[in-house]
A and B are shown apart, each in its own frame.
Chain A
Amino acid sequence: MGRINRKNLVLLFLGVLVLALLINLPNTSSIYMVRVLNMTMITYLAVLSLYVVFGMAGQSSFAQCGLMGIGAYITANVSTRWGYPPILGMAASMLGTALFAFIIGFALFRLRRFYFSFSTIALMTILNGIFANWTKGTGGPVGMGNLVQFSVGNFIFNTEAKYYYLILGFSIAASIIIWKLFRSPLGRSFMAVRDNETAASCMGVNILLTKNIAFAISGLLCGLAGSLFAFLSGYISATSFALPQSQLYLVVIMIGGSSSPIGALIGSILINLLPEWLRFLKDYMMLIYGVGIMGLMIVLPEGLVGGGKDLYAKLIKWKRSRADAEQGL
């Protein structure tokens, strides 16, 4: 620990620079752009949840958006309908969604590979059916509107910029926790389950429980994302939490690369900001994603981050061989 060398210093410097840039962003951007950034970070949190359960534990789930919906509706009910403090609503969203994922996991993880994937599609469809029809708990087809703003004590998050800092804080905190998870015993057990279930169980990893914990952690993140979404947009309905959105998250993580959280970040940025930069292509955007992901899978099956790593490795190799050749001369 605490090794100070040139590489770490450069990283630290870069980190501080990026952080400063991020903190300054709302001052230089339009309110609309800040809203886009906020949605990007919420997408990032949802995709990060998929990184845990899919990238690390290897279980492709199509239910993430449904879990996000659970989080959003819990927040709406607790904070707006029942009038408890918003922060309590957010905590209830995170814990409730995690608990739901943990319990339903015991059923779903009795199935393996694409059996599991399709059972999550079933779960997603069931959840969406409930969101769209349970008038009392979710407002049914009309959804729930006029949701209260997030507040801590007397400080109310009533502008887009305030939400930006709130969501940024959560995103950074979540990223650090997930980053730490990667080198932790729990994270290792996730990856062991992903790579080789037989070897994992022979190394003392409880497969079912490990998958459940991964799903619960992803539920926690989804609950957070859903809760933030509810506070930010002030209105939620079933159409926001449907299967195509869940599919999109899976596409996002595959575009970025499922081997690191950075993939989740890059994917989220692309999927949210690209339509803004390429406004004239707006109607074609989803089509471009669809075709793009097909092409990407052919060219870079490990996503942009995996492809980038490969390229970097090749570059180093090429440099070395050139240096060797020059020495030979």
Chain B
Amino acid sequence: MIIQLIVTGISLGVVYGLIGMGMVLIFRAVGIVNFAQGDFLMLGAFICFAFNQKMGMPIWLSFAITAVLIGLSGIVFQYITYWPLRNAQDKAIIVSTLGASIALREMTKLVWGSTPQTIDPLKGGIVKIAGAFLQWQYVIIIIFAALLMSLVYFLLEKTLLGNIMQATAQDKYAASLMGIPIAVAIALTFFISMLITGAGGVMLAPIFFITNTMGVLAGVKAFAAVVIGGFGSVQGAIIGGLLIGLIEVFAGTYISTTYKDTVVFAVLIISLLVRPQGLFGEKIAEKA
């Protein structure tokens, strides 16, 4: 029993971590918090639903196409909400992403209706690991999310592309002087961020129902993961995500199903009070 809970918690956690990672990438690149991140998760789930259930494509193919499509939509999103406002106040950009969030939710409702939908899990059936019977899909989610995370991490840390993106994130002006096309680097950041978020949506879809509001709570939880982990830290987002996933599952089992989200957010507020800079965040320097 306990192993099942842990595996379920971790699998939820890695997905939250994945979305959180997407948020961190955008935050590091352009310094804004994207309030529509969760809605791209929802969009991913719906698009995969369209390919898988409506058009009858196999789940893996739907998954791949969806991820790329969501990534591309991230670029479009960036050109609408961020690029025209890049010199405006932060609050204008935040509200603009909020507008995008509302628009995406309504658009999906108009296209796919408001009845909850489901898709196939990435892999069905049961597997026996260490004497415990586990659902394959949870195991697959963990493996796959971990794979995606390492891939993004490798891309950021070890490749030229990653260096370009990081240089842009650190100092746009200096980067532009060095001949880095900032617009491309930022577009690329949004592409990757949304791609992993959309993938997260496809992974979560078989566990929760697909509705046009599924992204709200998942997005907020991913942000909670980012905050607990320390804002701007990729490792922090992953660890924070795991914590949130585990707390959610254990609170749901041992405290109360109805209050599991309440517990999650209570933990967030407490952690903010105890350690506002998060687990991996640097202490905000006195001399700013």
Q: Which residue of A lies closest to B81 (CB)?
A: A294
Is there contact, CB below 8 Å, between B102 and A125? no
Is there contact, CB below 8 Å, between A289 and B276? no
B106 touches A (CB below 8 Å): yes
Q: Which residue of A lies closest to B83 (CB)?
A: A298
A254 touches B (CB below 8 Å): yes
Given contacts A107-B273, A126-B266, contact A290 B227 (CB under 8 A): no
Given contacts A110-B272, A284-B110, contact A293 B258 (CB under 8 A): no
Q: How far is the CB of A247 from chain B (nearest CB, A)?
A: 6
Write out, one digit per residue, whether chain A residues 95-137 have a CB within 8 A of any chain B CB (1) or not (0): 0000000000001101101110111011101100110110000
Is there contact, CB below 8 Å, between A114 and B94? yes
- Pick from A60, A123, A243: contact of B216, CB below 8 A: A243
Given contacts A111-B276, A119-B272, A130-B262, contact A294 B80 (CB under 8 A): yes
- Pick from A110, A129, A301: contact of B258, CB below 8 A: A129
B33 touches A (CB below 8 Å): yes
Q: How far is the CB of B275 from chain A (nearest CB, A)?
A: 11
Bound-state CA distance A293–B103 (Å) is 9
Is there contact, CB below 8 Å, between B106 and A118? no
Interface size in chain A (residues, C-beta < 8 A): 40
List CB contacts (< 8 Å) of A120-164 with chain B: 121-123, 125-126, 129-130, 132-133
Chosen A-B contacts, 28 in total, with CB atoms closer than 8 Å, are A60-B94, A107-B273, A110-B273, A111-B276, A113-B90, A115-B272, A118-B223, A118-B227, A122-B265, A122-B268, A123-B269, A125-B265, A126-B261, A126-B269, A129-B261, A130-B262, A247-B98, A250-B95, A250-B98, A254-B91, A287-B103, A291-B99, A293-B98, A293-B99, A294-B80, A297-B88, A298-B96, A301-B85
Which residue numbers of B lie inside 8 Å of A, CB to CB? 33, 35, 80-81, 84-85, 88-96, 98-107, 110, 213, 216-217, 220, 223-224, 227, 231, 256, 258-259, 261-262, 265-266, 268-269, 272-273, 276
Which residue numbers of A lie inside 8 Å of B, CB to CB? 60, 107-108, 110-111, 113-115, 117-119, 121-123, 125-126, 129-130, 132-133, 243-244, 247-248, 250-251, 254, 283-284, 286-287, 289-294, 297-298, 301
